[in-house]
């Protein structure tokens, strides 16, 4: 039994299993099996596999039943650390610039970009900043400037095939601060352009609230707790925060959540 697009009823049951009430699945499968000829049931697996492969999703049926295809080929997980103090210093400057390239089909990390950045307006890190982020003075002294790091990000994006117009990718951050406030604010201060790929993103807090029905007031800590996940590494370490974001995304994807852009166009 097929719809207008050629998708079988069985395919709909499998790809929609994560959203379908679990206690109905056995009865529904049984009913479908009674309605459909044995020959059709025998061949439906290969038909669905070919359809998935034609769209670039070569996953097994078992995986796809709890892991629906995402809208993006890659998710670029980003979490800045910046100069800070109490009271807050101005302007803040990015001192850690990590990106994880997450495969949208497998939700596994394929590549990492990670650099520390030399601050120029306030070159000396405050004790508060070091205590919060774990970044000591020696980790930023002599490192590239933000302009140089942004150039290397662009080189990495090109090397990873992320600048290909046919490849759909989007940044993911824990909140809107990184790409709505921090990067454009510092670039404006330094007179640097902001690449277009930094102008749309997914706010993981919003995605989590859509999926789980509650807002994570304490960010990653609340999201890990809500999903029964262990926190990875040190809080407020940029690269460790990226790993936590990736782990949360993978868990939500396995539960059937499909990520969508949350930022408004610039």
Annotated catalytic residues are 81, 236
Torsion sign across C-alpha atoms 54, 55, 59, 65 = negative
Token couple for 201: 């993103």
Round to whole Å and give the CA distance between 18 and 253.
10
DSSP state of 227: T
Angle, CA 64 vertex, CA 6 and CA 263 arms, to 5°: 95
Torsion sign across C-alpha atoms 58, 246, 81, 208 = positive
Where would I find the beta strands (DSSP E) of the chain? 74-78, 81-82, 94-103, 109-116, 169-173, 201-203
Token couple for 230: 């262990």
Peptide bond into 262 cis (omega under 30): no
**Burial (Cβ within 10 Å: 0-12, 13-18, ≥19) of residue 50:** exposed
Residue of 37, 42, 104 whose CA lies nearest to 72: 104
């Amino acid at each position: 039994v097929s719809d207008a697009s050629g998708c079988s009823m069985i395919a709909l049951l499998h790809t929609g299993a994560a959203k379908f009430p679990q206690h109905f699945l056995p009865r529904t499968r049984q009913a479908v099996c009674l309605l459909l000829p044995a020959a059709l049931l025998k061949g439906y697996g290969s038909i669905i596999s070919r359809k998935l492969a034609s769209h670039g999703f070569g996953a097994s049926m078992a995986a796809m039943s709890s892991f629906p295809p995402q809208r993006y080929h890659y998710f670029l997980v980003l979490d800045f650390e910046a100069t800070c103090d109490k009271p807050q210093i101005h302007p803040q400057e990015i001192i850690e610039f990590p990106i994880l390239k997450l495969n949208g089909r497998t939700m596994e990390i394929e590549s990492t970009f990670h650099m520390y950045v030399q601050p120029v307006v306030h070159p000396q890190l405050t004790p508060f900043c070091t205590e919060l982020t774990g970044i000591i003075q020696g980790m930023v002294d002599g490192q590239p400037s933000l302009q140089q790091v942004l150039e290397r990000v662009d080189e990495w994006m090109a090397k990873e095939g992320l600048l290909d117009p046919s490849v759909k990718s989007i940044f993911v951050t824990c909140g809107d601060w990184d790409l709505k406030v921090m990067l454009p604010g510092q670039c404006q201060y330094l007179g640097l352009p902001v690449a277009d790929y930094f102008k749309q993103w997914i706010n993981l807090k919003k995605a989590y609230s859509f999926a789980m029905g509650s807002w994570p007031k304490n960010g990653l800590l609340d999201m890990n707790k809500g999903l029964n996940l262990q926190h990875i590494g040190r809080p407020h370490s940029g690269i460790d925060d990226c790993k936590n974001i990736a782990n949360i995304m993978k868990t939500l994807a396995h539960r059937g959540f499909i990520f969508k852009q949350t930022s408004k166009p610039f």
